[in-house]
Structures are given as C-alpha cells and as structure tokens.
Amino acid sequence: MRHVLYSQQFDRSILDKLFRRADEFRRRMAVPSEKLALTQLHRGKTLFSVFYEPSTRTRMSFGAAAQHLGMSVVATENAREFSSAIKGESLEDTIRVLCEYYPDVIALRHYEIGAAERAARYSSVPIINAGDGAGQHPTQALLDLYTIHQALGTTAGLTVTIGGDLANGRTARSLAYLLAKFDGIRILFVAPDPLRMGSDIKEHLREKDVAFSEESRLEDALPQSDVVYWTRVQKERLGPEAADEELHSRFVVGPAQLELMKPHAVLMHPLPRLAEIPPEVDADARAWYFRQAGNGMFIRMSLLEWIFEGD
Ligand code: NCD
C-alpha cells in the first residue's frame, strides 16, 4: 500500500515520474475534450478528505484533482469540531470506521504531529498526510519542488533560502527533506531567533552532506539565492512570542528586498501569505506563489494515480 506520510519517502525516480505526469495533466486540462477524457481514468474510485485543521488549497485541490480524474469525493472539513472527535473519539477509531465505507484513499489533515502515521497503522487503504500539526506536509513539498523544476528547469546546484517560521512551519520542513535528495543544493535558513529550524532537520542535512547555514539577515541571503521560499508565522501554533510585531517586521520580502534578488530567482510561498509578502510584490515576474498553488492540483492528480498503481 502506498501511503504518503513524509517527503523523505520519495526517491528521485518517483519524483521524475510524478512531475512528468503532472506536466501531462497540465497540458490536457487546458484542452476541453482532453479534460473530459481524463474523467474516465479513475471512475469509481473514491477519495475521503478528512480535515481536522483549516485548509483552502490542500483540501480544494485534492477534491478538484480527484474529480478531474473522475473520482468521487466524500469530505469532512473542520473535523475537530464537526466529527465525533468532539465527543472524544480517537483518530484510530475514526479511521477504522471510515474504512468500512469503502474509500480508495484517505487524505488526512490533523493537528497532531505523527497523526498520519498513526492513521496508516489502522487504515485498510492508503493514507495521504495532508499536514500533521507542525510535523510535515509532503504533498506541499512535492508541488514546491515541481514548481522549482518548472521555473528553473533543474533542481541540482541551487541555492535555496527558506525563511519565516521554520520552527512550526511543516512545509519548510518537508521541503528541506526533499531538497536534500539533490546534488549541489545549498540551503540558507532565515528565521527570527525563536522560530529557527528544528535540530532534527539540521541533523538530517548534516547526515546527507547537504550544505546549509543559518543566516540572521535576509539581506545577506537574497543576492545568493535562486529560490526564496517564504512562509508565514504559524500564530495558531505559537505562544505569546507570536505577537512580537517588531521581530516579524524584519522578515518581510517587499519591493526593497526584491531589488536584492537575482533577476531570474523564484519567490515562493505555500500560502496563505500575510504581511510577510505585501501585495505590491505580486506583479513581479519572480513572484511564483499563485502558479505554485495551481501546481498543487496537477501534482495531486499525479500522486493519486501513483497511489492507485500500487493496488
Ligand atoms: C500550509 C500549511 O497548511 O501548512 N498551507 C498550505 O497547505 N498551502 C502553510 C501555512 O498554513 O502556513
């Protein structure tokens, strides 16, 4: 069974295959007759979309990806409040019950680190980790890497700045794991002191011989970077330090910071963005975050198909 639990599980040959297929889906979706033909591919399969935490992109793009492939979707949003979780039911019991209703795959977003792994132990169908608290968000990392590949034509030899709330941002963590698989990658982490990247990731990068450093000044990192991956402060996962506006005001990529970036660099963000990238930046050709979000659907189509190949 092909569970999708963490980004390290993908090797480069699977990534290549997923990206090629995502390219194909992108091309075919733009042609009405082809778009219709895609709905024959996985007819009769059902995605259960079970979200205990808020989501716009991940939930909607998984739903759209499934439906464009002809699948049906059974969904619960805000499951923390609207499901039997509020009555005290364990995740394990919920998953066991859901499996009685014949899903073919379950996309699960949960507020606890390790939730997807726990669910996978009790599930009779593949579980996709759509975000487990401050743990990982592997499908986001896939679409992030796919976007880098699309924008720059390569993944090897790049200098990638990853900044923002690295202590709590699961997308930054999953991306770092995935980047570690490519040659000549250099990662610059830029974060306010209380929000620095966790030691587990840094340990992993050392083990894999990936060059990385922690930069305290964004202005030093920007001119060196091919990719600038920016993230929001995860207020919902933080204590009172989240309110320190002065601290965060130093971690904004605005028009002045764009000036420091290479002409062909790529500015990415998993979204939602708050004040850390002001809207004035959107018109710059290097702002890729909306195209990046669009890529999420193609990658998720590709991923659903890859999971079914394992049946
Ligand atoms: C991210 C998440 O949920 O971790 N959103 C997303 O899936 N694109 C990023 C975030 O919430 O900051």
- Mutate which of 136, 137, 144, 269 for ligand 1 pocket (most atoms within 8 A of beta carbon): 137
**H runs (alpha helix) in 30-137:** 32-38, 57-68, 79-82, 91-99, 115-122
- Mutate which of 52, 58, 129, 248 for ligand 1 pocket (most atoms within 8 A of beta carbon): 58
In the set 21, 57, 204, 262, the catalytic residue is: 57
* Beta strand ranges found along the chain (DSSP E): 46-51, 72-76, 105-110, 127-132, 159-163, 186-190, 211-215, 227-230, 266-268
Q: How far apart are the first and last CA of the chain?
A: 7
Confidence (pLDDT) at 238: 82
Q: Nearest 5°: CA angle at 237, between 298 and 227?
A: 45
CATH of domain 138-292: 3.40.50.1370
138: nearest Cα among 306, 293, 10: 10
95 neighbors 69 (Cβ within 8 angstroms): no
Confidence (pLDDT) at 79: 82
The contacts of residue 214 (CB under 8 Å, 6+ apart) are 188, 189, 190, 191, 196, 197
| 250: its two tokens | 């130093």
Confidence (pLDDT) at 237: 84
Does the active-site annotation cover 171?
Answer: no
The contacts of residue 210 (CB under 8 Å, 6+ apart) are 179, 180, 185, 186, 187
3-state secondary structure of 257: helix
Is the CB of residue 174 below 6 angstroms from any atom belonging to ligand 1? Answer: no
- Mutate which of 49, 146, 271, 277 for ligand 1 pocket (most atoms within 8 A of beta carbon): 271
Q: Compute and round to an integer the Cα radius of gyration of the chain.
A: 19
Query: Separation of 155 CA from ligand 1 center, angstroms?
Result: 22
Mean pLDDT by 10 residues, the chain (311 residues): 97 97 98 98 98 95 98 91 84 97 98 97 98 97 98 95 95 98 96 93 97 94 98 84 70 96 98 95 98 98 96 74
Confidence (pLDDT) at 307: 98
Looking at the CA of residue 296, tell me the nearest atom of ligand 1.
8
CATH of 7-136+294-309, one of 3.40.50.300, 3.30.450.20, 3.20.20.10, 3.40.50.1370: 3.40.50.1370
Query: Separation of 18 CA from ligand 1 center, angstroms?
Result: 21
Q: How many CB atoms lie within 10 A of CB 302?
A: 25
Cis before residue 255, ω within 30 degrees of 0?
no
Is the CB of residue 138 below 6 angstroms from any atom belonging to ligand 1? Answer: no
Confidence (pLDDT) at 242: 65
Give exposure, 53-62, as e/b (b: 16+ Cβ within 10 Å).
Answer: bebebbbebb
Give the span between the Cα atoms of 199 and 169, in whole angstroms. 14
Looking at the CA of residue 53, tell me the nearest atom of ligand 1.
3
What residues form DSSP beta bridges with 73?
47
Is the CB of residue 140 below 6 angstroms from any atom belonging to ligand 1? Answer: yes
Confidence (pLDDT) at 73: 98
Q: Which helix (H) or strand (E) covers residue 290, if one does?
A: helix 289-309
Looking at the CA of residue 170, tell me the nearest atom of ligand 1.
4
189 neighbors 212 (Cβ within 8 angstroms): yes
Query: Separation of 270 CA from ligand 1 center, angstroms?
Result: 6
| 179: its two tokens | 């980047």
Residue span(s) of the chain under CATH 3.40.50.1370 come to 7-136+294-309, 138-292
Is the CB of residue 271 below 6 angstroms from any atom belonging to ligand 1? Answer: yes
Name the pTM for this structure: 0.96
96 neighbors 124 (Cβ within 8 angstroms): no
Does the active-site annotation cover 57?
Answer: yes
Give the span between the Cα atoms of 6 and 69, in whole angstroms. 24
Identify the residue whose C-alpha is closest to ligand 1 atom 7: 58
Is the CB of residue 270 below 6 angstroms from any atom belonging to ligand 1? Answer: yes
Is the CB of residue 136 below 6 angstroms from any atom belonging to ligand 1? Answer: no
